[in-house]
C-alpha cells in the first residue's frame, strides 16, 4: 500500500530544498495539505500533480519535472538547438508570434505542433539535423 501523505520534511528532502522554500511552496497552496495529529502533511497525489505541471524544482532522485509540459512543448533552448540559432533569435520569433507559447512558471515553452506548423510554412530556417545530412 502506497502512502497517501508525506511530511513537509519528506517533501523538502525529495526536492533537495531548504526549510524556508518548502514552507513557501506549502503557503502558496501548490498542493493539498492536511493536519494529522497536529502535524502538517502534504497529500502525495496533489504533490505529484503539481510536480508534473512545473519545471523549476527537480526531485533529488532524478525524476524529471514537468511531465505534462515536456511531451507537448519545447523549451526555447531546444528550439534554438533544433534550428542551430541563438536563444535570443527564438525570443525574437516569439515576439513576432511565430508560434504559440505558454508560460510555465518563469519559463516560456513553445507548443510542438505550433512550431512544426510554423516550420513547414517558412523558408528562412533549416533544422540543424538537416544541415548534418547535407554535409554527410
Residues 16 and 42 in one domain: yes
The answer on 78 and 127 residing in a single domain is yes
Mean pLDDT estimate for the chain: 92
Residue showing cell 509540459:
69
Domain identity same for 86 and 113: yes
89 with 126, same domain: the answer is yes
Query: Could you tell me how many helices (H) and strands (E) the chain has, helices first?
Result: 8, 6
Which of 24, 51, 66 delimits the end of a domain? 66
Cell of 92: 525574437
DSSP 118: H
What confidence category does residue 1 fall into, taking pLDDT thresholds of 50, 70 and 90?
low
Instruction: Give the pLDDT confidence of 36-94 residue by residue, as tens digits.
Output: 999 999 999 999 999 999 999 999 999 999 999 999 999 999 999 999 999 999 999 99
Report pLDDT for 105: 86
The residues near 7 (Cβ < 8 Å, ≥ 6 apart) are: 39, 40, 41, 42
Name the percent of the chain lying above pLDDT 90.
86
The angle formed by the CA atoms of residues 15, 58 and 114, to the nearest 5 degrees, is 150
Q: What's residue 136's pLDDT?
A: 43
62 plus 84 within the same structural domain: no
Residues 9-35, mean pLDDT to the nearest whole number: 95
DSSP 13: H
pLDDT band at 128 (very low <50, low <70, confident <90, very high): confident
Domain count, the chain: 2
pTM of the predicted protein model: 0.75
Pair type for strands 101-104 and 33-36 = unpaired
Does residue 76 sit in the same domain as residue 129? yes
Query: Could you tell me if 48 and 12 lie in one domain?
Result: yes
Give the range of the structural domain holding residue 12, as residue numbers without chain letter. Answer: 5-66
Is residue 43 within 8 A of residue 5, CB to CB? The reply is yes
- Among 24, 43, 66, residue at a domain's last position: 66
Amino acid at each position: 500500500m502506497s502512502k497517501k501523505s508525506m511530511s513537509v520534511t519528506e517533501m523538502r528532502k525529495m526536492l533537495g530544498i531548504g526549510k524556508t522554500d518548502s514552507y513557501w511552496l506549502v503557503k502558496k497552496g501548490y498542493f493539498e495539505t492536511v493536519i494529522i495529529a497536529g502535524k502538517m502533511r502534504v497529500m502525495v497525489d496533489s504533490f505529484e500533480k503539481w510536480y508534473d505541471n512545473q519545471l523549476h524544482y527537480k526531485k533529488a532522485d532524478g525524476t524529471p519535472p514537468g511531465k505534462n509540459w515536456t511531451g507537448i512543448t519545447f523549451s526555447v533552448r531546444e528550439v534554438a538547438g533544433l534550428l542551430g540559432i541563438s536563444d535570443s533569435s527564438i525570443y525574437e520569433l516569439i515576439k513576432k508570434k511565430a508560434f504559440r507559447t505558454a508560460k510555465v512558471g518563469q519559463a516560456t515553452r513553445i507548443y510542438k505542433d505550433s512550431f512544426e506548423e510554423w516550420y513547414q510554412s517558412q523558408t528562412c530556417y533549416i533544422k540543424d539535423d538537416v544541415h548534418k545530412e547535407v554535409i554527410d
